[in-house]
Amino acid sequence: MASSSPATTPLLKDELDIVIPTIRNLDFLEMWRPFFQPYHLIIVQDGDPSKTIKVPDGFDYELYNRNDINRILGPRSSCISFKDSACRCFGYMVSKKKYIFTIDDDCFVAKNPSGEDINALEQHIKNLLSPSTPLFFNTLYDPYREGADFVRGYPFSLREGVPTAVSHGLWLNIPDYDAPTQLVKPRERNSRYVDAVLTIPKGTLFPMCGMNLAFDRDLIGPAMYFGLMGDGQPIGRYDDMWAGWCVKVICDHLGLGVKTGLPYIWHSKASNPFVNLKKEYKGIFWQEEIIPFFQSASLPRECTTVQKCYIELSKQVKQKLSKVDPYFDKLADAMVTWIEAWDELNPSAGSAKLANGTA
């Protein structure tokens, strides 16, 4: 007698968009076809809008270039970066799905220690569909994973956890290093596969990388703004960092969780460290003041939605970081413009919704 196989239906097939920023043909999707083909793709083309981006046959996708961004957002398009992968956040804004997974076009399928291909998207979904534990650290890491649980001494009152807003994945091969570290360790490669998922504790910031990232758009989407980077801006390669710092402060305030660890992808290409240094050098100095700002940031009780939190954070950026550089005054204004554009395209978007289900 033939047996049915429920696993053949991809998780969240109709509830998740894959967002990919790119300047080149997307041949890398062939490797991801077994995992990505059932899902809808949103491709954000950076750079010259007259260039044709080729997408392999068989994928369901929509593609936006700079002309589309200008047409859809009008004057508010100024908040979307140009000539920088930060443009990916436009895809977050136009999506109508509950979940987003974003990946860079130089990221390939990694293998686990047994030599099996890693379905990164499936692991992200499992992370998002199970709670987080930011209020008390579990020494067996994610207690909701198969084969794990809460250890002795973990308060029973906290074992329900909180809804998970963000799943932050890692990379084998080329690590996500800044330019100075790249220059002193040009041949370093990450071959360590750590089979763990952690909740980042409340009150702790982290350096978020946008190349292997998933999040619950309903819970935290309006805060996933990747800032003003690239063409015409004094800084680059801090787009995902900025978003991560904002997101973490807001998640802590609203009682949401952020996980990091699995899944791994294979990061295939190291970017030029000298080009990176030119983009990063101001940020390397500025972050010594930016990070204490976020560590001390406090949101009032009246901030009950992501939008309200983000607008309040923009006011604090303007007030406290503009003295570091006039760029932050401009960035604070762009944060407000981003929220206005988000609300215009997503008029029913509200605050954090129901808690997560089970994976």
Establish how many alpha carbons lie within 13 A of residue 271's alpha carbon, considering only the half-sphere containing its beta carbon.
Answer: 20
155-182: average pLDDT: 98
Q: Which two tokens stand for residue 286?
A: 């500025």
Region class of 254: left (phi > 0), else alpha (psi between -120 and 50), else beta: alpha
Q: What is the pLDDT of residue 349?
A: 54
The model's pLDDT over 81-99, given as tens digits with 9 standing for 90+, comes to 999 999 999 999 999 999 9
Q: What is the pLDDT of residue 348?
A: 77
The model's pLDDT over 228-280, given as tens digits with 9 standing for 90+, comes to 999 999 999 999 999 999 999 999 999 999 999 999 999 998 899 999 999 99
Write down the mean pLDDT value for the chain: 95
| Spatial distance between the Cα atoms of 110 and 117, rounded to a whole number of angstroms | 6
pLDDT band at 13 (very low <50, low <70, confident <90, very high): very high
The model's pLDDT over 180-219, given as tens digits with 9 standing for 90+, comes to 999 999 999 999 999 999 999 999 999 999 999 999 999 9
| Spatial distance between the Cα atoms of 99 and 112, rounded to a whole number of angstroms | 25
| Spatial distance between the Cα atoms of 68 and 56, rounded to a whole number of angstroms | 21
pLDDT surpasses 60 at 350: no
pLDDT band at 6 (very low <50, low <70, confident <90, very high): very low
CA nearest neighbour of 106 among 183, 189, 29, 16: 29
Residue 78, C-beta contacts closer than 8 angstroms, at least 6 positions apart: 334, 337
Q: 342 near 222, Cβ under 8 Å? A: yes
**Bridge partners, residue 169, by sequence:** 261
pLDDT band at 354 (very low <50, low <70, confident <90, very high): very low
